[in-house]
Amino acid sequence: MPTLNRVQIIGRLGQDPDARYTPTGKQVVKFSVAVSNRWKKDGDVKEYTEWVNIEAWGRLAEVCNEYLRKGSLVFIEGRLKTDKYVDDTNTTRYFTKVVIQQMQMLDKREDANMIEEMPAEYEAE
């Protein structure tokens, strides 16, 4: 039976992207995106925010690092990936993230000159 691992979110960056390089020189960028859900209960508007960890590689990482900032509104499509590590107390911890396969910037472009320089949508290689 076929399976599917695909996530689509729209949200705002919680911090500027954190760029690093692998020993082979490939860029990786990490950041988090806030995705909010609102509903009414007993006449009051309630809101819950989920923080999603994001990771981008290669050219897509370069684009994220160059154009995205804290507060940027983005559409992200990717796949879930869970990593594990051992913390200081020797306990195994798990960390789930979305590895980007496609990203689209949704902020309004205020500077007309940037429209020529900044394509709105990028896909992983």
Could you give the CA distance from residue 88 to residue 76 in angstroms, rounded to a whole number? 33
Whose structure tokens read 């507060």?
71
Residue 57 lies in a domain: yes
18-21 and 27-41: which strand pairing? Answer: antiparallel
**Quick one: which of 31, 113, 101 has its CA closest to 72?**
31
Distance of CA 22 to the CA centre of its chain: 19
Query: pTM of the prediction?
Result: 0.79
Quick: pLDDT tens for 74-112. Answer: 999 999 999 999 999 999 999 999 999 999 999 876 543
Residue 2 lies in a domain: no
Domain of residue 92, residue span: 7-123
Q: Report the number of distinct structural domains present in the chain.
A: 1
pLDDT in the model for residue 111:
46
